[in-house]
Each structure stands twice: as C-alpha cells, then as structure tokens.
Amino acid sequence: MNFLKKILSSLNNNSNMNKYLILGIGNIGSEYDDTRHNIGFEIVDELSQNLDTKFESVKLAQRAEGIYRGKKIIIIKPNNYVNNSGRSLVYWQKKEKVSNENILVVCDDLNLFFGNIKIKPNGTSGGHNGLKDIENNLGTSKYARLRIGISNNNKIPKSDYVLGKWNSFEKSNLNNLKTSSIEIIFSFIQTSIEETMNLYNNKNFV
C-alpha cells in the first residue's frame, strides 16, 4: 500500500510540475481599458488567443485554460483592482496545486522604459501595489514576474500616469510588445527562467 501511495504521489507531483499559472495584473471595468496599468490584462488576453481558449467568470477571477506542448496553462485575470491581486492568485494556486516555481505574474513597470521587458524569478515589488499584495498573500517574493516597461512621467502624478490611456506612439507599438511577451512566456514554460532571462532581458522590443 505504501509503495502504491508513493507511485500515486510521484504521478501527482509530475502532473503539478507540468501545470503553470499565468496571472495578468489589471483593473476591472471598461473605464480602465487601454490604460498603462492594464498591460497585464492585455497580454494574458493575447495569450488566451494564442492558446485558442476563452475566459470564463469563476471565483475571484476570469479564468482560461489551455495546453502548450503538453503543459497545462491556467490564465487568471483577478476580478478586482490592481492592489487586490494576491487573493485571486493564492486561491487559484491552491485550487490547481501549482508550485511557486510555475507561477508567472505579468504587470506594468514604471521603472523600465517603454519597449523594455524583463523577466525575473523573484524580487521586490518596485512600488507596484499589485505585486505588494501578491507578496503579502503568497508569503514570499519568490515567484516569477514579467515586467512590461511603461516609462514614467514625473510631470504628472504617478496614479494619473499609470491610469492614463496609451499615447499614439505607445499604441502603435503595443502589438510588438504583446507578441514578444507571449514569446517570453512560452520560453519560460518550455525551457527555464534562467535561459529565458539570457535570451530576452537585454533586448528592446520597439
């Protein structure tokens, strides 16, 4: 019996290793569409299209599910605001039994120039309230994040800037950013975060 339990446990562990949770950070509500703070939502929307799957309303989130090269991908958009992203992530991580190593959070980053995309295995919130809430709920900062540079504008309040609409230059380059972000996400899933960082972190995508 113990031998059988070990086999079943091993199978479950292997199954969980092939399961990934990709969460996009953003604000719900049509008034936040096309704003810089919602780039996380836009990228996971693009990811769901690439995987030919659609979102459905579930507990604490919009959820989609797809398969990429034999690996199960769960895509989450919290049905809340940016600074309340953590509860949704932790709920779906536990429900789907996804390891911390297989979580990837997609968000905007004021500290990176527009056109820069960085993937990292851990780190500080960098002042991002969504990442702060995830760290508080998850109990660790050791989870991967894909940061999409949105630049900064010190002439206007930070909240006004991140909640502002894309300007014409940014809008004309968004498709490049989305396409590159999906490529990075698939690399993270298929290879490793170290290899993905080496391939993409020093590039400019506009």
Predicted TM-score (pTM) of this structure: 0.91
Three-state DSSP state, 42: helix
Contacts of 9 (CB under 8 A, 6+ apart): none
37 is annotated as an active-site residue = yes
Task: Please give the structure tokens belonging to residue 6.
Answer: 């070990």
User: Cα(188)–Cα(20) distance, rounded to whole angstroms?
Assistant: 10
Beta-carbon count within 10 A of 183 CB:
16
Per-domain boundaries in the chain? 19-200
Residue tagged active-site, from 22, 25, 35, 37: 37
Q: State the average pLDDT over residues 38-43.
A: 98
User: Cα(42)–Cα(175) distance, rounded to whole angstroms?
Assistant: 10
| Fold exhibited by the domain 19-200 | Rossmann fold (3.40.50)
Note the pLDDT tens digit of each residue in 46-81: 999 999 999 999 999 999 999 999 999 999 999 999
Task: Please give the structure tokens belonging to residue 98.
Answer: 């996804």
Q: State the average pLDDT over residues 132-152.
A: 96
In this prediction, residue 41 has a pLDDT band, given cuts at 50, 70 and 90, of very high
